[in-house]
Amino acid sequence: MRDCPYQMMVIGTSLGGLQALQVLLPCLPKGFPLPVAIAQHRHKDSDDSLCVFLQQYCALPVSEAEDKEAIVPGRVYLAPPDYHLLLEGGHLALSTEAPVCHARPSIDVLFESAADAYAHRAIGVILTGASHDGSQGLLSLQSQGGLAIVQEPTTAQSPTMPKAAIAALQQQQRLPNTLYASYWILPLRDIAPFIVNLCHLALR
């Protein structure tokens, strides 16, 4: 079995994200080799109930990210409410910089930090959502050779976010003298199995 060619997976979602994560996370088996960082738009006064709820559906440990926390493979890190989550040199970082696309946590901020820190060893996944947040971050990740995956909009509770990401990727590919890695548009139920197979793991 070859080593997984990737070292980090980042997921961005907004409206409908809770239901989407209930489908995606159970398909990541115990022993999944990548750390997973999630930016889910939510109210700034939210408590940790989202983290507790998602743990019921995930074989991997799920926790809210803490500033300066070391990134560990096989763990799921959720951006805390009202903080941007960034990946920096093997550690997590939290920021109270201004909202991006009216959101904090911002998907763009998380994905751009993943592009900087992991380049071609990062996987970026855009799920359902009602804004354009994440499109530019996914482009940044893809431009570094990372793998871009977008939920097929017809399978999204809110197709605005995946449609915006797809439009941005398609527009970028039409520019002259640009060489970007390929991207995938997949139904929600197929995203996690596709990534698991990339990492040469058997579903169990």
Identify whether 14 is a catalytic site residue.
yes
DSSP string, 74-143: T-EEEPPTT-EEEEETTEEEEE-PPPBTTBSS-HHHHHHHHHHHHGGGEEEEE---SS-TTHHHHHHHHH
Q: Which of 41, 106, 132, 158 is catalytic?
A: 41
Out of 84, 106, 131, 133, which one is annotated catalytic? 133
Give the span between the Cα atoms of 23 and 17, in whole angstroms. Answer: 10
Q: Which helix (H) or strand (E) holds 151?
A: strand 147-151
Q: What is the phi-psi region of residue 198: left when phi exceeds 0, alpha when psi lies from -120 to 50, beta otherwise?
A: alpha
Could you confirm whether 133 is annotated as catalytic?
A: yes
Return the amino acid letter for 28: L
DSSP 25: G
Cβ neighbors of 152 (< 8 A, separation 6 or more) are 162, 185, 186, 187, 188
**Phi first, then psi: what are they for 172, rounded to 5°?**
-65, -40
* Residues with catalytic function: 14, 41, 133
